[in-house]
Amino acid sequence: MIAKSILGSLEYAVEVLQVPLIIVLGHDDCGAIKATIDSVDGKLLPQGEFIQHIVENIEPTVRAAKANGVQDIDEITALHVHDTINDLVSRSKVVREALESGKLAVVGANYKLVLGDIHPLVMLGQVTQ
């Protein structure tokens, strides 16, 4: 789940600054995804309040992935990018309306660190202005 402060920043960018594009970018071998996998598997019991907050936000994606037989960290990262975009669009009326009106596009992608490449995963909307 995206923090309210981040949703507020994104809404400001869309409504006030009129940005035409939001990119949700994951990356391979993500430490936050790994920490969440380890936590779900009982291998990590994060003591830090803020580490636990990150793990709790990613945990639904990890649990759903595992229930569907997905174990690969990069595949789970891709699923989390999708889930993050779904969360953004479902919770923010400003973002949703900008998408529907053609003022905004939202792209989900994965950055391959070793290769230096960005691989698109999902695209919503198309800027028509």
Domain edges within the chain: 4-124
What is the C-alpha to C-alpha distance for residues 87 and 24, in angstroms, rounded to an integer? Answer: 11
What are the structure tokens assigned to 112, written together?
């391959």
| pLDDT at residue 47, as a whole number | 80
CATH topology classification for 4-124:
Beta-carbonic Anhydrase; Chain A (3.40.1050)
Please give the model's pTM, rounded to 2 decimal places.
Answer: 0.91
Tokens representing 39? Answer: 């936590």
From first to last of the 129 residues of the chain, give the pLDDT tens digit: 898 999 999 999 999 999 999 999 999 999 999 999 999 999 987 788 888 889 999 999 999 999 999 999 999 999 999 999 999 999 999 999 999 999 999 999 999 999 999 999 999 998 665
Q: How far is 118 from 113, CA to CA, in rounded Å?
A: 9
Q: What span, in angstroms and rounded, lies between the C-alpha atoms of 97 and 89?
A: 9
For the range 37-42, what are the long-range contacts, defined as Cβ-Cβ under 8 Å and sequence gap of 24 or more? 37/62, 37/73, 37/76, 40/66
